[in-house]
Chains A and B, each alone.
Chain A
Amino acid sequence: MLKLLIVIPAYNEAESITRVVDDLIQNYPQYDYVVVNDGSRDKTAAICRAKGYHLIDLPVNLGLAGAFQTGLRYAAENGYDCAMQLDADGQHLPQYIAPMLEMLEDGADIVIGSRFVTVLKPRTLRMLGSYLISWAIRLTTGRAICDPTSGMRMFNRRLLEEFAQNPNYGPEPDTISYLIKNGAVVKELQVEMAERTAGQSYLNFARSVQYMIKMGLSILLIQWFRKRDTVTPYPERSL
C-alpha cells in the first residue's frame, strides 16, 4: 500500500481541530497525518500539544500555500509516497481517502475530491467563481475540471516533490491548470463535503475579487510563460 501523509493546515481552528484529528486517529489509524499550525492566534497549537497530536508549529503566519508546502516538505523528506490536504474545519470527509488512493495507484498524478462530477454545480453567486475558473481551465487546457476550488487534493510522489520546493505552487486551481498543461494526469472523484461547523470562511467579497483576478491572470496569461523546473533535491526517491 502507498504510504500516505495527510496534511492538515490549521489557522485559528481551535474549535474544530480536535473533532477532525480525533476522527482520523480513531477511525483511520492506517494513515499518517500532520497538523501544520500556521501561526494561529488562538489556542490551536496548545490544544494539539495537550492532545499529543503530530504537530508542525510554524512560528509565523505563512498563509495556506506556505503551510501546505511545509507539510509537503515534511512528506518529501520523510519518504512518503503521496500526500493530501485535509481541511481542519471538518469540510473534508476522510471516508473518501481510500477511493482517492485507489485512483492515485491507477496512475493519476493528482486526485481531486470533487463535489460536482455527477452532481450539478448550483448556479449561485457563490459558485460563479468556480464556473469562471472551470471555464478558464477548459479554455487553456481543453480539460474539464468540475470542482477546481476544492481543497481536497491528493498528490503522488513526483508532484509532492515538485510542490515541496517551488515558489509558485500554491494549492490552488492555477497550479492544477499549469500542471495539466504540462502533462500531469488529473482525476476527480465525486465526494460529499460537510458544511463547516466552526470558524468562518476566509473569503469575503474583496478577497474573492482579488482571488479571482489572480487566478484569471495566472491561468489565462502567466502560465504560458512559466518554465517547469523538475530538478529535485530528493534524487533517491524521484521517478
Chain B
Amino acid sequence: MDTMIPLVLRALLILGSFCTLVFILKRVRHAKMQIEDTIFWIFFSALLLFISIFPGLLYWASDLLGFVSPINLVYLLIIFVLLMHQFSLTERVSLMDVKLRTLAQRVALNQEKLDSDRKPAEEPKAEPSQPQEKD
C-alpha cells in the first residue's frame, strides 16, 4: 500500500489543524476577529482533523474517483475549500469598497453642507471688522 497517506503527513495534518484552531481562538480572545469570521476556520481545522484521523473514507473516495494517490484528493479538497473561501472574501472586499466609498462621500457631502451653511453668516461679519484691523 505505497499509495496510502504516510503517517508523518497524518501527524502534520493533525498538528496543522490544532495550530489553526489555537491561533483562531487566540484572535477571538483578544477581540481581534468577529465570531462569524472564525466559523470557517473552525470547520476547516475540523476537516483537516477528520481527514487525518479517519483516512479510510478518503481511500474509498479516491478509489472511486480514480485518483492515483489519496493524497492528491487531500490536496484537491484543500485547494477547493480555500478557493471557495477566497471567492467569498473577494465578494466581501468588493462590498466593503462600495461601502467605504459611500461613507467617504457622505462625510464629504456633510462637510460641504456645514461649510456652505457657515459662509453666508461669516461674510457680513467680515466687512465691519476690516476697518478695525486697519487701525
Majority SS of interface residues in chain B? helix
The residue in chain B whose Cβ has the minimal distance to the Cβ of A172 is: B35
Whether the Cβ atoms of A166 and B102 lie closer than 8 Å is no
> Which residues 203-239 of A have a CB within 8 angstroms of B?
213-214, 217-218, 221-222, 225-227, 229
The residue in chain B whose Cβ has the minimal distance to the Cβ of A221 is: B42
Alpha-carbon distance A213/B43, docked complex (angstroms): 11
Alpha-carbon distance A218/B35, docked complex (angstroms): 7
Alpha-carbon distance A167/B29, docked complex (angstroms): 12
B30 close to A (CB within 8 Å): yes
- How many of chain B's residues touch chain A, expressed as a range? 10 to 19
A61, A166, A214, A225: the one contacting B28 at CB < 8 Å is A225
Whether the Cβ atoms of B103 and A59 lie closer than 8 Å is yes
Given contacts A59-B106, A222-B25, contact A167 B31 (CB under 8 A): yes
Whether the Cβ atoms of B39 and A213 lie closer than 8 Å is yes
How many residues of chain A get a CB closer than 8 Å to chain B's CBs?
A: 17
Q: Which residues of B contact A227 (CB under 8 A)?
A: 29-31
Whether the Cβ atoms of A222 and B35 lie closer than 8 Å is yes
Q: Which residues of A contact B99 (CB under 8 A)?
A: 60-61
Q: How far is the CB of B51 from chain A (nearest CB, A)?
A: 20
Q: How far is the CB of B24 from chain A (nearest CB, A)?
A: 9
Alpha-carbon distance A71/B30, docked complex (angstroms): 24
Whether the Cβ atoms of A214 and B39 lie closer than 8 Å is yes
A200 close to B (CB within 8 Å): no
